[in-house]
């Protein structure tokens, strides 16, 4: 059984620890929120921070409240996230940026397959890794502290800065890169200590595509997504 772990090079992500796990899940949860259309002319950029704060508190409170359920079955975390993943995810933009130049030459079928398996791999990997943490710990509601957005009125692309305060150690900067779409503010990238999630995956996938081709990458993601469905890390079965 090939159970993906933080040391698996195919699923490598820098800083695989609580701040990054919450960053990844905040991305998913934020993008799932119902949003209202807005324009740059009448928008307050600080609304992006306000929405993230609400999502962070909701996520922390929910996972803490269901800690016993999560300890019994780590897949509860995935179910909680999945319930909120409504058709508001900007997966198209994220996938296009991750594949970079390879997106332009990919067929429609390749694009759809990549998007599906990339999303599934991220969702299940981070959900189960977070479940591992929650099986032994609770999360302080003051874990993430957001800073007011400093941007000109009407800006349609902003960075929401925050610091994650772990139980031990120094605060860790986690930034959310957001743009205003017809659905409202959406996160399109997260960086932890200056390391971009999009850039990290793009570099890794570009190397793999050069060696083996895009179809092999998609097939590998599909296999690992399937493995995570059958054997999530931390599962008691």
Residue 3 has what pLDDT? 32
Q: Look up residue 126 and give its two tokens.
A: 């981070």
Distance in angstroms (rounded) separating the CA atoms of residues 140 and 57 = 10
Which residue blocks in the chain are alpha helix, DSSP H? 18-31, 47-65, 67-72, 75-84, 91-99, 101-105, 108-134, 197-212, 214-230
Q: How far, in whole angstroms, is CA 203 from its chain's centroid? A: 17
Res 96 pLDDT > 70: yes
Res 37 pLDDT > 80: no
Residue 4 has what pLDDT? 34
Confidence of residue 2 (pLDDT cuts 50, 70, 90): very low
CATH superfamily of 14-230: Tgt2/MlaC (3.10.450.710)
Range with the largest mean pLDDT of 8-12, 22-26, 84-88, 196-200: 196-200
Parse the chain into domains and list their residue ranges.
Answer: 14-230
Residue 41 has what pLDDT? 47
DSSP 7-62: T-GGG--TT-SHHHHHHHHHHHHHHTS------GGG--TTHHHHHHHHHHHHHHHH
Res 31 pLDDT > 70: no
Res 104 pLDDT > 90: yes
Res 20 pLDDT > 80: no
| 3-state class (DSSP) for residue 84 | helix
Q: For 176-212, how does the pLDDT look when each residue is reduced to its tens digit (9 = 90+)?
A: 888 887 777 777 788 888 888 889 899 999 999 999 9
Distance in angstroms (rounded) separating the CA atoms of residues 5 and 2 = 9
Whole-Å CA distances, 188 to 27, 96, 140, 141, 147 = 8, 11, 26, 25, 18
CB 193 within 8 A of CB 15: yes
Res 112 pLDDT > 90: yes
């Amino acid at each position: 059984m090939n159970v993906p772990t933080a040391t698996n090079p195919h699923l490598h992500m820098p800083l695989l620890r609580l701040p990054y796990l919450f960053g990844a899940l905040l991305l998913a949860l934020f993008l799932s929120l119902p949003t209202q259309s807005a324009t740059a002319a009448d928008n307050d950029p600080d609304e992006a921070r306000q929405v993230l704060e609400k999502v962070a508190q909701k996520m922390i409170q929910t996972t803490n409240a269901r800690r016993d359920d999560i300890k019994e079955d780590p897949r509860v975390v995935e179910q909680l996230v999945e319930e909120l993943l409504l058709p508001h995810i900007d997966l198209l933009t994220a996938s296009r940026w991750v594949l970079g130049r390879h997106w332009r030459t990919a067929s429609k079928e390749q694009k759809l397959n990549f998007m599906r398996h990339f999303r599934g791999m991220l969702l299940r990997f981070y959900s189960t890794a977070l479940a591992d943490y929650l099986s032994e710990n609770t999360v302080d509601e003051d874990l993430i502290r957001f800073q007011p957005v400093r941007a000109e009125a009407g800006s349609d692309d902003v960075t929401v800065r925050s610091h994650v305060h772990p139980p031990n150690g120094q605060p860790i900067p986690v930034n959310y890169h957001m743009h205003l779409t017809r659905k409202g503010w959406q996160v399109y990238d997260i960086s932890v200590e200056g390391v971009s999630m999009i850039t990290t995956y793009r570099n890794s996938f570009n190397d793999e595509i050069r060696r083996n081709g895009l179809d092999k990458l998609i097939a590998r993601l599909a296999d690992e997504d399937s493995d995570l469905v059958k054997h999530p890390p931390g599962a008691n079965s």
